[in-house]
Structure 1
């Protein structure tokens, strides 16, 4: 092993500039990869919190519904009948995508209105008869809502369907674009780091071709010959992982723990466990990124 470590140290000194370049490239790519992992975790956490609480509201017709901009399936001058209401309830409950159906009468809607606007001058502007009774729907899978919304909107006696996914989906489209864009850029940089590691090892093997030839002549195994090159790449990977991990944990501490969690308390934020999970993935990627191109390059260029 003394010879192996001596050869590793010699290779690092001989290719110091290339090694530093590899470390810088790997650090940037690994840090960006770790940030994309943390972004994935945060988006899924927020999405799970908001989507789990989303309920579809189906508002029924009143006598004044027809003729408005959102008259839906209402008949002029007629509120939803009892038969239509029972039909809506049975159709919603029989839908396999629906978990629970809650009915809210006009009286219950009016009481909720008065509780919400108790201190407002608008409190007495509406009466019970002007309120809409409605069905609130909780879904089995909040992301599969289109079928339920489409069916509910087509039923007689339904004025309109309120679906918060129309508000949330554009937001999550932007967030998903951000996380996939970050991941794509990280992958490109990781590929660049892999190619740079391969070139560095190839140059190192070329400068030591005489020593390699002698070792092959005296019967040295392929593992013994390749080990110094693997250690060189692992050295760059370990240094990059330490720097990248420190950057990720520091980013979590200063950006999320001390700022985001304090200023925006309504959102569910990732935890230290999630941050350390990202660091762990970075370490695994760094090891693979160091070993794979080294093994491929040495197998190709160390034939004497």
Structure 2
């Protein structure tokens, strides 16, 4: 097979169907950009979850004077109740679950709030309104239920809370955003496949006389099909290149240039190394879909 002749035929087809080719490039660009964005969002969710799961704590809040829980019938937790909780956290039964424990007094909790939220809260919050708290880090963060069951209902304990319960809605919302991006990308990819197939069939119809002559002189179906397949692959390659550029620019300016500076509570973000993993995937996906759809379209036309 003469490579120069095949490439010449493919470029001729691209010129003849310039408007359709531009449509294929744009649809492929948009669809693959959504695919890449969905992959980056999922990578971001994974990084955030790993970071926060490792740092999330279980808080054992001790009773205050004004606590209304039945376990706080005697009012503020006394030294005996505090010691009972501390002993249980250090007991052999929880030794393989508890990694470390930090006790926070009311005064410490008060100072932390003022440092975090500012001096304007001095007039609204007092140390007496806060709980003495045991902050528990676990060896396996998925075993928070063990701590909850062990200390809920214990005298002097007002409440046991898992910090991950406040983060789960965020992760759920991000996951939904990923699903939406994937759904949109899927629809756009279907549109790109149909456009590629239509472009190839129109190109084949426009050159039907040439195809007929090639078949009469004994040209193989493979020789006839290859230029048409290359047309679809070239168009998809251009769309993939634009999508790759969009992914890199999005990470550089959207993540590194804006989100890292504006969103303080997230400390781990996707970076160029993650984009470098995503880009080959979307390029390969675009080329495979284009090649398969173009091949199918021209084979059906040649059978007619």
1:91-110 alignment runs, 5 A limit: 93=94, 98=97, 100-102=99-101, 104=103, 109=105
Please list, as runs of the form range in 1=range in 2, the aligned pairs for 1:74-223 lying within 5 A after superposition: 74=72, 76=74, 80=81, 86=87, 90=91, 93=94, 98=97, 100-102=99-101, 104=103, 109=105, 112-113=108-109, 116=112, 132=132, 134=134, 136-140=136-140, 142=141, 144=142, 147-148=145-146, 150-152=148-150, 154-157=152-155, 158-223=157-222
Q: Which residue of 1 aligns with 2:300?
A: 300
In proportion to residue count, which structure has more helix? 2
CA displacement at 1:47 relative to structure 2: 2.4
Number of aligned positions between the proteins: 289
Cα distance in 2 for partners of 1:72, 1:209 equals 86
Shift of 1:54: 0.2
5-14 or 84-93, which deviates more: 84-93
Aligned partners of 1:33 and 1:182 also within 8 Å? yes
Separation in structure 1 between the aligned mates of residue 18 and residue 46 of structure 2, nearest angstrom: 42
Change (3 A) 1:147 1:293: same
Structure 1 gap segments, 5+ residues each:
none
Question: Aligned-pair distance for 1:182?
Answer: 1.4
TM-score w.r.t. the length of structure 2 is 0.79
Give the C-alpha shift of residue 189 in structure 1.
Answer: 0.6
Give the distance between the partners of 1:205 and 1:284, measured in 2 at CA.
25
Superposition CA RMSD, Å? 3.2
TM-score of the two chains, using structure 1 as the length reference: 0.79
**Cα drift, residue 287 of structure 1:** 0.8
Is contact 1:234-1:287 (8 Å) kept? Answer: yes
Unaligned runs of 5+ in 2: none
Match of 1:20 in 2: 22
Among residues 48, 53, 56, which one is paired with 1:54 in the alignment?
Answer: 56
